[in-house]
Amino acid sequence: MIKVQEAIAVIETSSTKMPVKQISIKKAFGYVLAEKVISPISMPPFRQSAMDGYAFTHSIRHQYDIVGTSQAGDHKNIKLQNTEAIRIFTGAYVPDSADTVVMQEHVMSNKNSILIASMPEKFSNVRPKGEQIEKGAVVFEAGTLITPAAIGFLASLGITEAAVYKKPKTAILVTGNELVEPGKKLKKGKIFESNSIMLQAALQTAGINKTKVYRVKDNLKATKKALKSILKNNDIVLISGGISVGDYDFVKEALLQNEVKELFYKINQKPGKPMFFGSKNETLVFALPGNPASSLTNFYIYVLPAIKNRMGFSEIHKPKLVRKLNSDVINDTGKTLFLKAKYDETNVTVLNGQSSAMLNTFATANSLLIVPDDIENYKKGEEVILLPID
Amino acid sequence: MIKVQEAIAVIETSSTKMPVKQISIKKAFGYVLAEKVISPISMPPFRQSAMDGYAFTHSIRHQYDIVGTSQAGDHKNIKLQNTEAIRIFTGAYVPDSADTVVMQEHVMSNKNSILIASMPEKFSNVRPKGEQIEKGAVVFEAGTLITPAAIGFLASLGITEAAVYKKPKTAILVTGNELVEPGKKLKKGKIFESNSIMLQAALQTAGINKTKVYRVKDNLKATKKALKSILKNNDIVLISGGISVGDYDFVKEALLQNEVKELFYKINQKPGKPMFFGSKNETLVFALPGNPASSLTNFYIYVLPAIKNRMGFSEIHKPKLVRKLNSDVINDTGKTLFLKAKYDETNVTVLNGQSSAMLNTFATANSLLIVPDDIENYKKGEEVILLPID
């Protein structure tokens, strides 16, 4: 049995980065850059007006003749005399002979001339060429997460593709003779299989939108055979159920016979203790507990960070939160507890219904309260650590 | 000019809920329930063993003969004598004549009998029928966000469909003669158009994965014509650019001529002041500033909550964070400032490069620091309010 922190560390050191691919910027949201990006242009590419107003050459003079117009998109390099100005709009090209733009709100104007009521400082309202970035400079370093703002900035530089780490191809194998697919008739002694659909949704939170689900009966031969091809064709394999010590749990044996290297089995935690983690080549295998709440807990604690690690994220764990407890918490297990909890701006409440089979509590929780194995109790009002889930 | 809080309130009261549709649970992640859900079964549907072990009738006796096996999925209602037990596995049916399960770790066993070393209390390790939910009880109220755990719970009850609010059909209209699509050649005076691709990515954070982009030149006729069909076919319309007071900004006029009701124009904030908000029937129109950072700021502050409101979310605003400032902040504008900022567990740093045109700062920010219009300065070390973005 391994401690939670050790399990997290083992998974982290076992997770290699995915291969690199070129991707269209349009589809790059949520990926991580695998190579640094160099700017092909200066941005802005020319001196730009930051305001709607008038461009002129700064002097002590307040009155100027209007001799032209520069609209956004124009490129008229009008040669201004020191008595002349042009009408100019936000984003428009500022002629080489002008150095300053005055806001239209600060002038009195007629058709042919302006009188500047409030004189701006020299160079005001002119964005220098390359103010945001110079041609040839680094736009983003490798390891940058591609956010909407990053996509916008890349597009503004005319960049249409980038090198990113692929998303891991992920499969789910469901075991269990007691399981019936939702929509079918529930026979006596059976329950509906819900873990695969739950894990598919949870994978979407990591941007993995397509996950194939395989089902096998509880026997060694079928499990072994199914695993053989699943292991070959996926980067991350999630297995639901069949991993506790019951006589009918064949998963671990089937994994070992498929040459999956066992990296740990069982974690000193509650819920979620019976978990197997292993690898074959670069494929990671998580055999999760069959109990739904245990399965989802371990997904958030172990699987999600592993996916992010493979995708090149620099921060693979969600930032923890600190909140004040609304009630005492006792830990007489010697294990790390992950308690379904709901936090607000200042406090956190541990929810009723912490059994490993109970998903309804999870559905109303927004966090897992972490009680380390060496903590025997927390008092009401004490500050505790939460892992937010959403 | 309207205040930020008023603008938020106007948008909220103008946002009606989307029509309701039935959706497969498999595709329901991120939607909100439009109707309460009633459980068609009790869960668990029968008394279930919570452990791998032995089921028996609790008594003072410690030795029992093994007379059968109940594996998960079985339904053998073995009639046990008070000297008898059966081998049982997690999730398996507990026979009516048994009331207690002892963990296998707490017995000594041979092929035919067990000796219980550590006697559990009566009813231990037996999950009562309907422990999680009784048949006919409310599973989730209307307004519940469908998370992975909620999907899992619905599936475990055999539910395959639910009534949810549709996602709003959303379009983006881009205006501006100065704009060139990334990938094409950048002529003098022009810049690459980046707002549409940025907003498309930002919409994905709300689960809106398909957004059509329309482009028009800066003239009233073209803008008016394009808007006519866009307004008819969409629930939310985002317009990029063309909304400030420059002579070439036709958007507002084109909207009014299309019978869009103006609900406000211009907000007392920086960046992002020149924004128009209106509605036609139930379609909401946000004419966002053309400057990329202003556009994205207003997306997070105004558009995202409106989308969530239309989708039936009960919490449409992200919970704010409180952090300690790493430097003084001055606000001599009389406006509400939204400053690109980066927070860690305790503190927040205001980033360099707050100009409304600058997206690169946004790409490294994880939050917007909100400085209300009536605050003239914050001192280093003071606690401030952040809107997290991710």
pLDDT tens digits for range A189-214: 999 999 999 999 999 999 999 999 99
B73 to A104: CB separation less than 8 angstroms, yes or no: no
Residue B89 contacts A, CB cutoff 8 Å: yes
Smallest Cβ distance to A296: which of B152, B191, B299?
Answer: B152
Q: Are strands B283-288 and B276-280 parallel, antiparallel or unpaired?
A: antiparallel
pLDDT at position B360: 87
A132 to B357: CB separation less than 8 angstroms, yes or no: yes
pLDDT tens digits for range A124-159:
999 999 999 999 999 999 999 999 999 999 999 999
Residue A52 contacts B, CB cutoff 8 Å: yes
B296 to A52: CB separation less than 8 angstroms, yes or no: no
Block residue for tokens 């529930």? A186
10-residue block means of pLDDT along chain B (390 residues)?
A: 97 98 97 98 96 95 96 92 95 96 95 95 96 96 96 97 98 93 94 96 94 93 96 97 76 96 97 96 96 95 98 93 96 97 94 85 94 97 94
pLDDT at position A39: 97
Residues A325/A378, Cβ–Cβ less than 8 Å: yes
Helical packing angle, A195-204 and B148-156, nearest 10° = 160
Q: Which residue from A minimizes the CA distance to B27? A: A201
Domain ranges of chain B: 4-18+167-310, 20-42+137-165, 48-127, 321-388
pLDDT at position B247: 67
List chain B residues with CB under 8 Å of A180.
158
List chain B residues with CB under 8 Å of A186.
41, 45, 158
Tokens encoding A380: 């009401």
Question: Which of the residues A49, A188, A346 would you substitute to probe the B interface, choosing the one with the greatest number of B C-beta atoms within 10 Å?
Answer: A188
To the nearest 10°, report the CA torsion of B258, B263, B266, B269: -140
Percent of chain A with pLDDT over 70: 99
As assigned by CATH, the class of the B4-18+167-310 domain is alpha beta
Q: Which residue from A minimizes the CA distance to B203? A: A148
Tokens encoding B67: 């007379």
Residues A294/A361, Cβ–Cβ less than 8 Å: no
pLDDT at position A129: 96
Q: Which residue from A minimizes the CA distance to B365? A: A149
Residues 320-359 on B with a CB inside 8 Å of A are 320, 322, 344-345, 353, 355, 357-359
Q: What is the mean pLDDT of residues A54-79?
A: 94
Residue A247 has pLDDT above 70, yes or no: no
List chain B residues with CB under 8 Å of A87.
247
B360 to A248: CB separation less than 8 angstroms, yes or no: no
B149 to A345: CB separation less than 8 angstroms, yes or no: no
Question: Which of the residues B192, B203, B249, B346 would you substitute to probe the A interface, choosing the one with the greatest number of A C-beta atoms within 10 Å?
Answer: B192
Fold of B20-42+137-165: Molybdopterin biosynthesis moea protein, domain 2 (3.90.105)
Residues 119-158 on B with a CB inside 8 Å of A are 127, 131-133, 139-140, 144, 147-158
pLDDT tens digits for range B31-85:
999 999 999 999 999 999 999 999 999 999 999 999 999 998 999 899 999 999 9
Tokens encoding A92: 């428009």
Query: How close B241 gets to chain A, by Cα (Å)?
Result: 10
- Give the dihedral sign, CA A298/B202/A132/B276: negative
Q: Give strand pairing partners of B31.
A: none
As assigned by CATH, the class of the A48-127 domain is mainly beta
Query: How close B205 gets to chain A, by Cα (Å)?
Result: 9
Query: What number of C-beta contacts closer than 8 Å exist between A and B?
Result: 282
Residue A39 contacts B, CB cutoff 8 Å: no
Q: Which residue from B minimizes the CA distance to A130? A: B358
Residue B319 contacts A, CB cutoff 8 Å: yes
B153 to A360: CB separation less than 8 angstroms, yes or no: yes
Percent of chain A with pLDDT over 90: 90
Mean pLDDT check: name the lowest of A12-21, A244-253, B12-21, B291-300.
Answer: A244-253
In this predicted complex, what is the ipTM?
0.93
Alpha-carbon separation of residue A5 from A9, A12, A301, A370, B123 (angstroms): 6, 11, 10, 12, 35
DSSP string, B75-131: -------TTEEEEE-TTPBPPTT--EEEEGGGEEE-SSEEEESSPPPTTTTEEPTTS
pLDDT at position B357: 75
Question: Which of the residues B190, B297, B386 would you substitute to probe the A interface, choosing the one with the greatest number of A C-beta atoms within 10 Å?
Answer: B190
As assigned by CATH, the class of the B321-388 domain is mainly beta
Smallest Cβ distance to A156: which of B177, B192, B322?
Answer: B192
Q: Name which of A183, A260, A251 is nearest A217 in CA terms.
A: A251
pLDDT at position B217: 86
E strand or H helix that includes residue A161: strand A161-165
Fold of A20-42+131-165: Molybdopterin biosynthesis moea protein, domain 2 (3.90.105)
A290 to B90: CB separation less than 8 angstroms, yes or no: yes
Query: How close A291 gets to chain B, by Cα (Å)?
Result: 9
Q: Name which of B208, B214, B149, B217 is nearest B177 in CA terms.
A: B217
Q: Which residue from A minimizes the CA distance to B246? A: A52
User: What is the 3-state composition of chain A as percent helix, strand, coil, each rounded to the nearest 5?
Assistant: 20, 35, 45
Block residue for tokens 């949201």? A29
Tokens encoding A19: 């291969």
A197 to B150: CB separation less than 8 angstroms, yes or no: no
